Chains A and B, each alone.
Chain A
Amino acid sequence: QSALTQPRSVSGSPGQSVTISCTGTSSDVGGYNYVSWYQQHPDKAPKLMIYDVSKRPSGVPDRFSGSKSGNTASLTISGLQAEDEADYYCCSYAGSYFWVFGGGTKLTVL
């Protein structure tokens, strides 16, 4: 099972919007509505930001949103803030108690 494909880096200015893509296959992203997104600041543990493609856990700002089309999921962050600068990982359930992560995207807030 290969890792999901994410851009290595994206950037945006404060207040702007950015979108991070996550491309898999019909065996993972395309086959299940179980895509989640995790934010990881340097030397910190990952934090759940989006689950089940587009749902936000309590406490996550509504600036974060998720979507999916076919084999590609996306995370959009609107109204960028300096604190959003971090690595972002998508994750998809792939069946039979197996999950696959993306390679990670480094978000830089200019």
Chain B
Amino acid sequence: EVQLVQSGAEVKKPGESLKISCKGSGYRFTNYWIGWVRQMPGKGLEWMGIIYPGDSDTRYSPSFQGQVTISADKSISTAYLQWSSLKASDTAMYYCARRGYCSTGSCPNWFDPWGQGTLVTVSS
């Protein structure tokens, strides 16, 4: 079974750093892009960025460029989303999701499956 399992909920103070994870299983992790999506409390989904674990090619939404860092460790089939200095406005649920398989010359533009989400709460 293809699965993405995310790390547990975090409670942090403003200014602290944080790295959350997304571990893939049931498929060849290096062959599929992994995206990150934010959902603020009571709000909709927002695209943050995407990484190809095979070569760590990473792309960011302009809204999140410079605000977060996306990385991956293919040796343990895990992608990461990290902050160097959290703000209260980073309080949200964060999801990772796998892009469809890219064959030669063609990449799907849908995401399935999704991780269960990691709730990040930033409060003083």
Contact = CB atoms under 8 A, between A and B. Distances in A.
A4 to B, nearest CB: 10
B90 interface: no
Please list the 10 inter-chain residue pairs (A to B) with the smallest Cβ-Cβ separation, ordered nearest first.
A97-B59, A51-B110, A34-B109, A93-B109, A48-B112, A36-B110, A104-B44, A45-B114, A101-B45, A99-B47
Interface in B57-105: 59, 61-62, 95, 97, 100
A32 B110 CA distance: 12
A41 interface: no
Nearest to B33: A97
B121 to A, nearest CB: 15
Nearest to A51: B110
Contacts of B46: 3, 101
Interface in A76-106: 89, 91, 93, 96-104
Nearest to B95: A45
B45 A89 contact: yes
Contacts of A93: 109
Interface in A1-34: 1, 3, 32, 34
B61 A51 contact: no
A28 to B, nearest CB: 11
A46 B46 CA distance: 12
Nearest to A32: B109
